[in-house]
Structure 1
Amino acid sequence: MNSTTVVQPVILCGGSGTRLWPLSRAGFPKQFLCLAGAESLFQQAVQRLQKHGSAPYIVSNEDHRFLAQEQLREIGVNDASYLLEPFGRNTAPALTLAALAAQDAGTDAVLVVTPADQTVADTAAFDQALQVAIADAVQGHIVILGVTPDKPETGYGYIRADQSGRLHLQTIACNVQAFVEKPDVETAQKYLSEGNYFWNAGMFVLKASVWLTALSNFRPDIAQACQAAWAAKKQDGQFIRPDKALFAQVPSESVDYAVMEKCPGSTQSIHMVPLHAGWSDLGAWDAVWNAQTQNPLGNAHYGDIISHNSQNTLVHATSRLVALVGVDNLIVVETPDAVLVANKASSQDVKHIVNSLTAQKREEHTLHRKVHRPWGWYDSIDGGGRFKVKRIQVKPKASLSLQMHHHRAEHWIVVSGTAEITNGDKVLTLTENQSTYIPLGEVHRLANPGTIPLEIIEVQSGSYLGEDDIVRFEDVYGRSK
C-alpha cells in the first residue's frame, strides 16, 4: 500500500437482531445496543476503522438515520455520510451503494466493509490483519477476513483456504478455494481439525471498481438496478438517498451469493486473511454471555440483580430489581414492557417469540416503551382504552413537527425546562408546573427554546391513540413528506 491509497470505511448498519429480543427490536436493533463494553456495537465498528481510513460511509435504512447520527455524535464522529436505503435489499446492494459513492468521490478507494453488529476483543490483531488485507486489495484482489474457529460452530458459513495445517497462526493472504454452507456438528468438528476452514464474518476489503466489475459480471441485474437508483439520488446534507421507486426494483441478495461464492475458479481472484482477534457476532444471548466478564459462578449480570445459589446465568435488568434463587444456565432479560426467560441452550429460539409477536401485530417486536426520536425521546408510562400517558424529553433548541391529530386531544404539563408551544394561531411559553390543552384537530407544535432539556408529561385522550395518527405540516427532520 502506498501513501496515495484512499481507504474508505463502510459500515453496513442494517439488520434487526431478532434473537436478542427484547433488547433488540426493529426500532432499536442490535447494532445500537451496548452488549460488550461501554459503546454500542455500531460505535465500536466505526472506531475500529477510524485509524484505517477517511470519514465512514454508513449504509443504513431511513428509519435509523437519526439514531446512527446521534450515536456517532456521542463518539465525536461528525463527518460520516449516510447512504439511506428506502427498503432492505440485503448486503450486495448495500455494498454497491458504497462503491458508487466512492466512485463519485473521484478516487478508486479501497473499501473496508464490516457489519455494524460485531465485536472484536483484540484490536491489535484486527489492525494487523486489516493492514495485510488492504495491501492485498490494492493489487486488485477481493479479500475477506476469515475468523479462526475455536469450536465446531454450526451457526456460521465457512471459507476453505488453499493451505492446511496451522494457517491461523499466520497473518497472510491466501487463495480461497470455496465457500461452504453451515455444517452439522460432525462436519464442523472435521473443519476444526483440518485447520484450513474459517468462519465467514462478512468483512470484506476490495477496491470500489473491483466490486462494481465483479457484480456486473456475476449479477448485472443488481448492478444495473443499483446504478439507476443511485443516478437519481437526492442529497440532504449528510443524508444521501437513492431513488425510492427505482431502488424498489433492486433484487435482494447477499454479497456472498451475488459475488463471493462465484469467484473461486473464475477470473476474479479472491483471497482470505486469517483473523484471530476474539471476534463474535453476538448473534444470540448465549454468545453475549460468552463475551461478558463472568464471576466465579459463571454469572454475567447487568443492572439491579440479587442472586442466591445460581450459576451460569446471564441477566440484563433495565428498569427494576431481578432476583435469582437456585437457577442454572438461564437467560433473563428485563425491560419495562417485556421479560424474557430462556434456557441458555435455547438462545437461538428467541426468534420464534418475535415471529409470534409479529403475527399478532404487537408493538413489542418493533418499539421499546421508551422511543428515541431526532428531537429527544418519549416513554409511554401508562395507558388504557381511551387514554395514554407519556413522559417526553426535548433536547435544547430542538422542535417537534408542526402537526395535527384526527382522533386524540392532548394535555401537556411542563415538569422542567421551558416549552414554546404553538396551539392553533397562538404561541405561548410555559415553564415548570404550567400546563396547556391541545384540542382534537388543532395544529400544534412543541419546541424547546432553552439550553437545558425540556421535560413534559403528555396525557392523550381519544378514540384512537396510535403513533400513525399524525399529520405533519412542517418538520426540520424531513418527515413531513
Structure 2
Amino acid sequence: MSLLPVVLAGGVGSRLWPLSRQLHPKQFLSLDGGPTMLQKTLGRLDGLETQSSIVICNEEHRFLVAEQLRQIGSDNRLILLEPVGRNTAPAIALAAIAATQDGDDPLLLVLAADHQVQDIVPFHDSIKKAQALAELDYLVTFGVVPTFPETGYGYIQQGTSLGQGFGVRRFVEKPDAATATAYLESGEYLWNSGMFLFRASCYLQELERFHPDMLHACHQAMAQLENDLDFTRIDNEAFARCEDISVDYAVMEKTQHAAVVPLAARWSDL
C-alpha cells in the first residue's frame, strides 16, 4: 500500500527568530542556501512509493507554499488552508477526512515541515518498518535514537517487541538533565520526533473515541470546501470550534494501539 504524505506547515517558527518571523516562518527558509525546509521535507520522500501529498498551512502563508511547491515541480498537491491554528490533532483530522472522502483509506505519513533528517537511507528504512505495523492498524510514531541526554525533547519509553518496532510503554515530558541521562543509559527511551504513520480511518476512529466534539467540528469544516486557485479553504467558523491540542495529547498517549519505530537518521527538530 502506498503512503499519503501529510506535511504540517502551519507553525510560526518562534525558536528561530529573528530569521523566522510570523509572515515567513522557519519551514519556508533555506538554512544552507539550497532548498527550503518545506522543499527538503518533500524531497526526502523521493524513492518511496507515495501518493501526491497533502500540505496543511496557515491562510496567510498560502502563496509562500504554492510558490515553493511550484519551484520543485510539486504544485499539483492538495493545499489545505487553516483559518486559525489549532495544533496538530485537528490538522491531521482534516487530512484524514480529505483522504477518505472518496472511499479510500490510505496510510498517512505525517511529517512536520521544519525538521531536519540527514540520513535518508535509515529514514526510509524506518518508514518501511512503520508501514508494516500501520497495515496491522497500529498508530505508529517514530522515536529518534538518542545520542546525548537532551532536555529539550519529550521521550517515548519502548514496550514489548512488535517485530518491526515496539509497543509504547509511556510518553514522558521534557526531562531535567539527570533524568535525561538516566533515560539515555537505560536504552529504553527514544526522543519523540512528532512524526507518525497510521491508517486514516484508525486515526479518525481514535479521535472519535477520545475527542468526538473535535472530530465533529472537523467534519463540519470539511463539508463546505471552497477551491480558490491552488488552495482549498475549509469552513472557518466550524474549525475554530476545535480544541487546540496536539496529536500526542489527543490520541497517541491514550490509544491502546500505539507503536514506536526507532529512527537513527541524524534528526533535528529546529
Task: State the TM-score, normalizing by the size of structure 1.
Answer: 0.54
Q: Deviations over 1:252-275 (max 9, x none)?
A: 111011011112xx3xx1111100
2:24 partner SS: coil
Q: Which residue does the alignment assign to 2:104?
A: 107
The answer as to 2:188 corresponding to 1:219 is no
Q: Which residue does the alignment assign to 1:276?
A: 264
Q: Structure 1 residues 172, 37: closer, same or farther in 2, change over 3 A?
A: farther
Q: Supply the AA of the counterpart residue of 1:137.
A: A
Q: Structure 1 residues 36, 193: closer, same or farther in 2, change over 3 A?
A: farther
Alpha-carbon shift at residue 240 of structure 1 (Å): 1.3
8 Å Cα contact 2:2-2:49 kept in structure 1: no
1:259 partner SS: helix
Q: Which residue does the alignment assign to 2:130?
A: 133
1:140 partner SS: coil
Alpha-carbon shift at residue 105 of structure 1 (Å): 3.4
Instruction: Looking at secondary structure, tell me which structure has more helix per residue.
Output: 2
1:114-129 correspondence runs (5 A): 114-129=111-126
2:61 partner SS: helix
Alpha-carbon shift at residue 37 of structure 1 (Å): 6.2
Determine which structure has more spread, i.e. the larger CA radius of gyration. 1
1:123-272 correspondence runs (5 A): 123-162=120-159, 172-263=164-255, 266=256, 269-272=257-260
Say which of 3, 7, 16 aligns to 2:3. Answer: 7
Q: Supply the AA of the counterpart residue of 1:278.
A: R
Q: Supply the AA of the counterpart residue of 2:42.
A: V
1:44 partner SS: helix
Alpha-carbon shift at residue 36 of structure 1 (Å): 4.5
Alpha-carbon shift at residue 10 of structure 1 (Å): 0.4
1 CA distance for matches of 2:230 and 2:190?
A: 37
Q: Supply the AA of the counterpart residue of 1:275.
A: L
Q: Which residue does the alignment assign to 2:58?
A: 61
2:245 partner SS: coil
Say which of 61, 65, 75 aligns to 2:72. Answer: 75
Q: Which residue does the alignment assign to 1:92?
A: 89
8 Å Cα contact 2:28-2:38 kept in structure 1: yes
2 CA distance for matches of 1:197 and 1:37?
A: 35
1:83 partner SS: strand
2:86 partner SS: coil
Q: Supply the AA of the counterpart residue of 1:152.
A: P
Instruction: Looking at secondary structure, tell me which structure has more strand per residue.
Output: 1
Report how many aligned residue pairs link the two structures.
269
2 CA distance for matches of 1:159 and 1:35?
A: 29
Mark the runs of 5 or more structure 2 residues left unpaired by the alignment: none
8 Å Cα contact 1:172-1:274 kept in structure 2: no
Q: Supply the AA of the counterpart residue of 2:175.
A: P
Q: Structure 1 residues 147, 36: closer, same or farther in 2, change over 3 A?
A: farther
1 CA distance for matches of 2:33 and 2:130?
A: 26
1:277 partner SS: coil
1:363-442 correspondence runs (5 A): none
Q: Deviations over 1:3-35 (max 9, x none)?
A: xx2420000001111121111000000001112
Structure scoring higher RCO (CA < 8 A, sep ≥ 6) equals 2
Q: Deviations over 1:219-267 (max 9, x none)?
A: 111111111111122223431111011111111111011011112xx3x
2 CA distance for matches of 1:64 and 1:45?
A: 17
Shift >3 Å, 4+ stretches: none
2 CA distance for matches of 1:277 and 1:14?
A: 24
8 Å Cα contact 1:174-1:272 kept in structure 2: yes
2 CA distance for matches of 1:73 and 1:52?
A: 21
2:44 partner SS: helix
Q: Supply the AA of the counterpart residue of 2:188.
A: N
Mark the runs of 5 or more structure 1 residues left unpaired by the alignment: 283-481
Pairwise CA RMSD of aligned residues?
1.6
8 Å Cα contact 1:6-1:107 kept in structure 2: no
Alpha-carbon shift at residue 196 of structure 1 (Å): 1.1
Task: State the TM-score, normalizing by the size of structure 2.
Answer: 0.96
Alpha-carbon shift at residue 52 of structure 1 (Å): 3.4
2 CA distance for matches of 1:35 and 1:182?
A: 26
Alpha-carbon shift at residue 143 of structure 1 (Å): 0.6
8 Å Cα contact 2:214-2:241 kept in structure 1: no
8 Å Cα contact 1:6-1:108 kept in structure 2: no
Alpha-carbon shift at residue 49 of structure 1 (Å): 2.5
